[in-house]
């Protein structure tokens, strides 16, 4: 993901948003305002005239699919309504939104078999920890039970259409070895250049940032490609596509790093204070995010050593910000 890719074709998206609005013209509840200054930047207008703020619904399928197209140029194209639903083309194959399930036409009648893909915008800051009410606790418990009993399967061909690597043999033939921050890893070839840039910027920052230098010296190993499913899930890990990376410290300093491990020690594992969680320096997280990666330290199901390439979530996060 290049730095220039956050430029947003506002007039076109406004037309599409009008098409996506409900019959009363209203958007969904999750709306944010884009400031006049941000609007001017996204439309590349140099005029200093006042532009009224516009509402961008970052949960709208047209906004999400537009971010996907921007984030994977050359892979995903042709955002339009087909057969009454928003859809895109990946390598000439139509994938329908299907309420977030990303299905080809032959699977639309089986939509209830599949879980939705997650397209939650990447937040600008680590979300604050808060108390959960009884209803939220029950919902989280049911969600985890559903994962653990492998009832959360998403339609896998959407990811293989984007990244290939349909099976173990093809994955092994696709991934390439690189050195990253002094450690040998295997990754998807599409990430070679972007990770090289991330490495260069982290090493440059470490020259004047003691915290980053200390963090780097504590990294004992790194892992990227690994053919496996997500722990406690029916879905393939992004590690199995070579687009996720774990940076493992030699010493966690007594801190919690992963929600599943924290469950062994805390009943309310989601409420483990941030100061009791292993942390990656803020500037390192920012560098990764600038190049399309999200950090697991910002997730409810936290994974402090994990980064994954999800440029569409970073783009949606930018759209959701209010200056």
Q: What are phi and psi of 112, to 5 degrees?
A: -70, -10
* 18, part of any domain: yes
For residue 243, what are the contacts with CB-CB under 8 A and spacing of at least 6? 163, 187, 188, 190, 191, 308, 309
In order along its 323 residues, the chain shows pLDDT tens digits of 444 444 334 444 443 443 443 333 322 333 222 232 333 334 344 444 555 556 689 999 999 999 999 999 999 999 999 999 999 999 999 999 999 999 999 999 999 999 999 999 999 999 999 889 999 999 988 888 877 776 678 889 999 999 999 999 999 999 999 999 999 999 999 999 999 999 999 999 999 999 999 999 999 999 999 998 777 777 889 999 999 999 999 999 999 999 989 988 898 999 999 999 999 999 999 999 999 999 999 999 999 999 999 999 999 999 998 54
Rg value, the chain, Cα: 20
This prediction's pTM: 0.82
311 and 182 housed in the same domain: yes
* 116, part of any domain: no
41 and 169 housed in the same domain: no
Domain enclosing residue 32, as ranges: 3-99
Buried b (16+ CB within 10 A) or exposed e, 79-97: beeeeeebbbbbeeebbbb
28 and 80 housed in the same domain: yes
* 117, part of any domain: no
Closest among 280, 300, 191 to 238, alpha carbons compared? 191
199 sits in which H/E element = helix 192-206
What the block records as the tokens of 167 is 């099976």
86 and 182 housed in the same domain: no
95 sits in which H/E element = strand 93-96
The pLDDT value given to residue 22: 37
The pLDDT value given to residue 229: 75
The pLDDT value given to residue 104: 95
The pLDDT value given to residue 50: 58
CB of 14 within 8 A of CB of 54?
yes
The pLDDT value given to residue 146: 79
138 and 46 housed in the same domain: no
How far is Cα 195 from Cα 278, in angstroms, rounded to an integer? 23
Q: What are phi and psi of 54, to 5 degrees?
A: -120, 155
Total domains, the chain? 2
Half-sphere exposure of 108 (CA within 13 A, CB side): 14
């Amino acid at each position: 993901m290049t730095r220039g890719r956050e430029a947003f074709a506002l007039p076109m998206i406004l037309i599409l948003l009008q098409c996506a609005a409900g019959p009363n013209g209203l958007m969904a509840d999750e709306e944010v305002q884009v400031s006049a200054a941000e609007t001017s930047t996204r439309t590349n207008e140099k005029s200093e005239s006042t532009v009224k703020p516009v509402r961008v619904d970052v949960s709208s399928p047209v906004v999400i699919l537009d971010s996907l197209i921007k984030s994977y140029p050359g892979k995903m194209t042709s955002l339009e309504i087909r057969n009454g639903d928003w859809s895109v083309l990946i390598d000439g194959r139509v994938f329908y939104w299907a309420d977030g399930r990303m299905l080809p036409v032959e699977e639309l009648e089986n939509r209830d078999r599949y879980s939705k893909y997650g397209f939650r915008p990447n937040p600008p800051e680590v979300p604050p920890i808060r108390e959960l009410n009884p209803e939220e606790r029950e919902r989280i418990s049911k969600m985890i039970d559903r994962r653990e009993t492998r009832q959360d399967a998403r339609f896998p061909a959407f990811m293989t259409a984007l990244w290939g690597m349909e099976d173990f043999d093809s994955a092994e033939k696709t991934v390439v070895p690189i050195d990253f921050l002094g450690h040998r890893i295997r990754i998807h070839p599409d990430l070679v250049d972007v990770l090289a840039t991330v490495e260069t910027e982290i090493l440059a920052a470490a020259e004047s940032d003691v915290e980053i230098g200390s963090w780097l010296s504590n990294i004992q190993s790194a892992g990227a490609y690994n053919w496996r499913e997500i722990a406690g899930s029916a879905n393939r890990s992004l590690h199995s596509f070579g687009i996720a990376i774990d940076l493992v410290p030699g010493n966690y300093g007594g801190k919690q790093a992963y929600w599943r491990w924290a469950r062994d020690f805390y009943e309310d594992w989601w409420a483990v204070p941030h100061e009791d969680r292993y942390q990656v320096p803020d500037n390192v997280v920012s560098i990764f995010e600038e190049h399309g990666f999200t950090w697991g330290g910002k997730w409810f199901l936290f994974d402090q050593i994990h980064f994954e390439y999800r440029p569409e979530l970073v783009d949606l996060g930018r759209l959701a910000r209010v200056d």
